[in-house]
Amino acid sequence: MHNRACFRKGGLGVIELENVAYSYGGGELLSDLSLQLAPGSFHFLTGPSGAGKTTLLKLCYGALRPTAGYARLFGQDVRQMDRDAVALCRRRIGVVHQDCQFLDHLPLNENVALPLTVAGQDSAGQAENLRELLAWVGLTERGEALPPELSGGERQRAALARAVIMSPEVVLADEPTGNVDWEMSQRLLRLLVELNRMGKTILIATHDLQLIRAAKAQVQARVLRISNRRLQTAGADL
């Protein structure tokens, strides 16, 4: 039954945090925080370094469990889910990590296809989808390159491709433009906006206010800020 739990509908958000707190090492990083990601919505998460943006993202995909309050993935309380149920839900959530870790001994196309392998899907049968995905992120010619041979922008685009290879309903991106120039930031943003227009729910953690302003010209985005361990709606001056 746990495997079915992820697919029960409940509430209005695909991801919901209600009065969540998270403590680590005796200190409270987040306090009394509530968030609802509605299907097809686009959110930015801002705040200074160390404010807890990455921690909040981890709560949103079940890598961390709140020390108080409720976290729900697709209507299911994370505290009532075993590891298999959380893993099943996470197939519906694509995550672009800040550090873009890859297996250096595997070429780019195999790194992007890794989620298929982990999920037990036949990657050979997904070859056409993989080719289309690499073309979408502009990496068709780099499929056989090893990760150490990739530039920062190529690694970020590869990370985005890997995050969406399973066609997730939600994409969470942690500082996806932190290590690339402005032109590449705009390219990554266009890809994320395109995903949103396809119906995906997007949450981007970033400190780049210029990127947020550029996004708001393309898509209706809600901007949230972590301040003093709590989540606030950012002002309209962004």
- CA separation for the pair 232, 189 (Å, rounded): 23
36: exposed, middle or buried (C-beta count within 10 Å: 0-12, 13-18, 19+)? Answer: middle
Which one-letter amino acid corresponds to residue 208? D
Q: Which long-range contacts (C-beta less than 8 Å, at least 24 apart) are formed by 148-156?
A: 148/104, 150/108, 152/179, 152/180, 152/184, 153/180, 153/181, 153/184, 153/187, 153/188, 155/100, 155/102, 155/179, 156/96, 156/100, 156/180, 156/184, 156/188
Would you say 104 and 146 are in contact if contact means Cβ atoms under 8 Å apart?
yes
Going residue by residue through the chain, which has 238 residues, state the pLDDT in tens, using 9 for 90 and above.
333 344 434 456 799 999 999 998 878 889 999 999 999 999 999 988 888 999 999 999 999 999 999 999 999 999 899 988 988 888 899 999 988 889 999 999 999 999 888 877 766 667 888 898 999 899 999 999 999 999 988 999 999 999 999 889 999 999 988 878 888 888 889 999 999 999 999 999 998 889 999 998 899 999 999 988 888 876 544 4
| Lookup: tokens for 38 | 């509605």
Sheet holding 15-24, edge to edge: 27-37, 15-24, 68-73, 76-77
Compute the distance between CA of residue 80 and CA of residue 75 in angstroms, rounded to an integer. 11
To the nearest 10°, the Cα dihedral for 179, 185, 188, 190? Answer: 170
In this structure, are residues 169 and 93 in contact, taking their beta carbons and an 8 Å threshold? Answer: yes
pTM as predicted: 0.89
Task: Write the CA distances from 138 to 134, 156, 175, integer angstroms.
Answer: 6, 11, 20
